[in-house]
Structure 1
Amino acid sequence: MMMTAIGLMSGTSLDGVDVAMIETDGRRVKSFGPTSYRPYSDRERCLLRQALTEAVNLPQRDARPGILPEAERAVTVAHAEAVAAFTAQHHITCQDIDIVGFHGQTVLHRPAERMTVQIGDATALAKAIHIPVMHDFRAADVAAGGQGAPFVPVYHRALAQSLEREGPLVVVNIGGVSNITYIDGADTLIACDTGPGNALLDDHMLRTMSQAFDCEGRMAAQGAVDVAWVVRALNHPFFAKPPPKSLDRNDFASLKLQEMPPADGAATLTAFTAEAIARIVAHLPKEPKSWIVAGGGARNLTLLRMLRERLQPATVEAAETLGWSGDAIEAQAFGFLAARGLKGLPLSYPATTGVPIPMTGGVIARP
């Protein structure tokens, strides 16, 4: 049975809330609906950055000390406003939607300690929007010993099947963290985080230029890469691990650039992201023939150029050139995952998160 779902995503880049509607039975995608975006204000973004800092020492996943209750309220209100604006703009009633997939905002992800924390009050959100809300997608996977990330591979597979393209094919999603889904036919699905996505670059741009990100990679295009720094950074033990593996946004925050012009720093961090993605090829069963880039990083033209140079002869293309919504792909995925969760279908697998058996997940909050 087909369902109409809304997916909501607030990612590690801390930029805002993506909203996307999708019609699906949890196995295939019948149609894409409209998408929208509700940016975080400077105050909200500052609050979330503070929450990330304070969440480092959380004793258990339901604890909300310090700034975290205020941050959780802000996340919940932002998502409720995003849904209200989206449904009003597109003349959608709450009766038109079967389920909302609400990821929340990750403030801590430490699967080795069986801890993953996404803030956001799903019960309050369900009451505000008058639609059932599925949330807490990652907890069951992590509790069972999985990495709890990446969680979008089953959606990537559904999208790739519609292309009817010869594999192997990789979908790489570049948000704050980068992750890949390796697809080779209907049976082979491998996924993992590859390393930093936009997080280090965004933090650098904010610190040096008071800009939230490097628009189209223009700053990096003007700079020179410090190759020695990139080589040293790639000595981090994470890169030698085979998949599945996952990261917290701040796992590489200790990597500091030496004094250099802002453009050189941007170029160096962009090259680090590209090299980290390329490093995963050695851990895959076969060399991919094509790469499809989604997420905010797909708009960074310098990053795309570096990936093409590094991954040739494979093709590298932005998701939007295939008719996919590069910006809303993760929001669509959580609508898709909510539909799967309602049907009790697996959300994660041993080769995507390292969980011992295929795992369903998600918790429903009703209005």
Structure 2
Amino acid sequence: MTELIRAVGAMSGTSLDGVDAAEVLTDGVRIAGFGASAYRAYEAGERAVLRSALGRWPGAAEVEPAAEVVETAHAALLSGFPQAELIGFHGQTLAHDPRGRGTHQAGSGDVLAEVLGVPVVWDFRSADVDMGGEGAPLAPFFHFACAQWAGLRAPVAFLNLGGVGNLTWVDPRRPGPEAEGAVLAFDTGPANAPMNDLIRARMGREVDEGGALALAGQVDEAAVAQFLAHPFFRRMPPKSLDRNDFHEILKFTECLETSDALATLAACATAAVAQGFAFFSEPPTALYVTGGGRLNAALMAGLARRTNIPVAPVEDLGLDGDMLEAQAFAYLAVRVARGLPTSGPSTTGVRALIGGGRISVPRS
């Protein structure tokens, strides 16, 4: 049996709330166990620096300050994992345009490797994009391992509701995520990002806690129909999005009261997920939701109504919905270190199975 590695993954998502870090014990194929986890929130000033850099590419004046924020926050959080043998560092996505300029995550693994004294796997997406893939989503191979860890014996779907929604269909009966018919994954559409942007602009709040305002509102179904007319939804997967690709949907809700606007944006997010089910080769037996969106009652109710299958947070499987993406990059870091693929044609559209990521080793 291949030796197990104690890896720690770190993830800073498009919602810009902060950094998650989580430990996984794995050989890059099976999950042997989960360890400690931690969270560091971005301060208001740090979020402002990051927000000013969204959409920027290397060389832009805003990028270096953003990278410094990312590196400082990650170093502070990851220093609390002294037992880590390997770090998986995703960085902060500032821009994602796989069919154009590529993909850009701020933060250097070289810097973190020196500061932490531990090998760091980073830049997970570039190789996939260079090989013709979308570079996202990258968690699907980990989702497959989670389904097997949970002992599932029938196809299920995992949905991450962060700034953008991404969906993974897995068949845990297959021998591995590389196998034919084992995994299909793609971004579904906007999720929390437009709702967070709207409530910040109108009320100065970061989030609609629990989806309370959205639950109290009325959905503008005409706006939802207009949203679903976007050509993205007719594209065959795999496919991916940048955080702001659907920013124009806020215009659909400009004339609505705040609660109605939030209800409508939540309906757009869940309708986009339901549209994605048409691409599955076999209906999933359940939908397990991770990310901040699983705490939004309007989103969860909308998913159950529109998909007509059991919908539950990933905690129902014994997983941690706050840390699943960070755990994914711990798992993927081990796969990179072991020379195993991290994405393939059915997850990112890359031409062949590929293992992304660079490894930085501390000079000392």
Query: Which residue pairs with 2:73 in the alignment?
Result: 78
Residue 333 (structure 2) pairs with residue 338 (structure 1) = yes
Larger deviation, residues 180-189 vs 230-239: 180-189
Q: Is the 8 A contact 1:114 1:145 kept in 2?
A: no
Structure-1 residue corresponding to 2:272:
276
Q: Distance in 1 between matches of 2:76 and 2:149?
A: 33
Equivalence for 1:307: 303
Separation in 1, partners of 2:155, 2:8: 30
Q: Distance in 2 between matches of 1:165 and 1:73?
A: 42
3-state DSSP of counterpart to 2:54 = helix
Q: Which of 154, 166, 174 is residue 141 of structure 2 equivalent to?
A: 154
Per the alignment, residue 59 of structure 2 pairs with 64
The 5-angstrom pairing of residues 45-60 of structure 1 reads 45-53=47-55, 55=56, 58=57
2:238 to 244, 250, 262: 244
* Residue equivalent to 1:141: 128
- Give 1:18 shift: 0.2
* Equivalence map 1:7-18=2 (5 Å): 7-18=9-20
Superimposed CA distance per residue, residues 289-311 of structure 1 (whole angstroms, 9 cap, x where no aligned partner): 21000111111111101111111
Cα shift readout 1:92-132 (whole Å, capped 9, x = no counterpart): x3xx3221000000001111125000000211111111111
**In structure 2, what is the Cα distance between the partners aligned to 1:264 and 1:4?**
46
Question: Structure 1 residue 163: deviation in Å?
Answer: 2.7
Match of 2:281 in 1: 285
Structure 1: runs of 5 or more not aligned = 88-92
Note if 1:266 corresponds to 2:268. Answer: no
State the alpha-carbon separation in 2 of the partners of residues 281 and 33 from structure 1. 33
Residues 108 and 116 of structure 1 are in contact (CA less than 8 Å); yes or no, is this contact kept in structure 2? yes
After superposition, where does 1:149-298 map in structure 2 within 5 Å? 149-184=136-171, 185-186=173-174, 187=179, 188-255=182-249, 256=251, 257-298=253-294
What is the TM-score with the length of structure 2 in the denominator?
Answer: 0.94
Identity %: 43
Partners in 1 of 2:88 and 2:150 — Cα distance?
Answer: 25
Q: Which residue of 2 aligns with 1:90?
A: none
Counterpart residue identity of residue 151, structure 1: L
Could you tell me which amino acid in structure 2 is paired with residue 173 of structure 1? N
The CA deviation at 1:321 is 2.1
| 1:30 equivalent in structure 2 | 32
**Inter-partner Cα distance in structure 1 for 2:315 and 2:22:** 15
Query: What letter matches 1:41 in structure 2?
Result: E
2:95 paired residue number: 108
CA contact (8 A) 1:114 1:142 kept: no
CA contact (8 A) 1:21 1:332 kept: yes
User: Is the Cα contact below 8 Å between 2:150 and 2:318 reproduced in 1?
Assistant: no
- Report if the CA contact (8 A) 1:114-1:143 is conserved: no
1:4 matched residue in structure 2: 6
Runs (4+) off by over 3 Å: none
Q: Distance in 2 between matches of 1:308 and 1:258?
A: 27
TM-score normalised by L of structure 1: 0.94
Aligned residues: 351
CA distance, structure 1, for counterparts of residue 63 and residue 136 of structure 2: 23
Deviations along 1:248-283, one digit per CA (max 9) or x if unpaired, are 001001221231111111101011100000100111
Q: Give secondary structure in 1 for the equivalent of 2:60.
A: coil
| Residue identity in the other structure for 1:123 | D
CA contact (8 A) 1:167 1:290 kept: no
Displacement, 1:67? 1.4
The CA deviation at 1:333 is 0.3
Could you tell me which runs of 5 or more consecutive residues in structure 2 were left unpaired when the two chains were aligned: none
Amino acid at match of 1:162: W
How far apart in 1 are the matches of 2:76 and 2:336?
Answer: 24
Residues of 2 paired with 1:227 and 1:293: CA distance?
A: 24
